[in-house]
Amino acid sequence: MTKEFPTAIVALAEKWAREANAVPPDVHPNHIANILQLSPFGADVSKEDWIGWIKLYRGYRDQESSPQQAAELATKEWFEMLPEAGIPSITPVPMPPIPTPATLTITFYVETYQSKLELTGTSGTELLAKYQAALQAIKNIGGQPWYEGRAPIAALPTVTATPTYTAPAPVPTYPPAAPVPTNAPVCPYHPSKPMKQSQYKPEWYCTQKNADGSYCVHKVPYS
C-alpha cells in the first residue's frame, strides 16, 4: 500500500531533517520521499515525531541495515519510547505485503538450437500478459515449439560467403571536457577522512558526524 505525501509535506520533511542534521547535507528530495513511505506516519506527521523517528532510522542505516530493516527497527524503537515520553499512542501504518513471484518457463527451438525463456510475474494476469507477448516474439524470430521426445531439427546448409571490407567511419573529435578536481580537500573539523564530491553541485562536502551525532555541514566549492 503506497501512502500519498503532497510535495509540500515532502519539502517540509526535508527542511526539518536538514535543520536537525538528521540526514547527510547532500540528500536528494526523492530520497526523503522514499523514507516517508517507509515511516509509520501519514501526511499529518508533526515535526517532533518526524525528527525523532528519522534520527533512529539514520542510526540503523549507519549500522549497514537495509532501508526496510532500518525502518522496521526505528519504528519498533519509536513506539517503545512513546509511553516513557508521555506521547499519545500512534497507530502504525501497515507495511504492504511483499508479493510472491510466479515463474513460467517456455522451451522452444530456433534453427537448430533448443532455447529456454523464463518469465516472472507477481500475479497471474501479469504473467499471462508476458506469456502472450513472449509467444509472439518467439514466432517473429522463427521459433518452433518443443515437446518431449521431439527429434532435433535438421541443421541448415552451410553457406560460404566472400567477406567484404568496409572502411570504418571516421571517429568524430570533440573538445576536451572540463577537468573534474581529483584532490579531495580535508574538513578542518574532521581531518581524518577526505571530503566527498557532491553528485548534484560542484562542491565537496564532509561525510563525518559531529560529537552530538549530527552530520557536519562543512562544504568546499570546486576551485
- The yes-or-no verdict on residue 204 having pLDDT over 60 is yes
- pLDDT number for residue 149: 60
Q: What is the largest CA-CA distance in the chain?
A: 86
- pLDDT number for residue 147: 64
Place of cell 515511516: 39
Instruction: Please give the backbone phi and psi of residue 79, each rounded to the nearest 5 degrees, phi first.
Output: -75, -25
C-alpha cell at 182: 581529483
Instruction: Indicate the average pLDDT of the chain.
Output: 79
Confidence of residue 85 (pLDDT cuts 50, 70, 90): very low
Angle at 114 between CA 113 and CA 118, to 5 degrees: 130
What are the boundaries of each domain within the chain? Answer: 7-85, 102-145, 181-223
Distance of CA 114 to the CA centre of its chain: 36
- The yes-or-no verdict on residue 166 having pLDDT over 90 is no
| CB distance 220 to 186 below 8 Å | no
pLDDT tens digits for range 5-19: 888 888 888 888 888
Long-range pairs of 131-135 with CB within 8 A, sequence gap ≥ 24:
131/104, 131/106, 134/106, 135/106
| CB distance 198 to 205 below 8 Å | yes
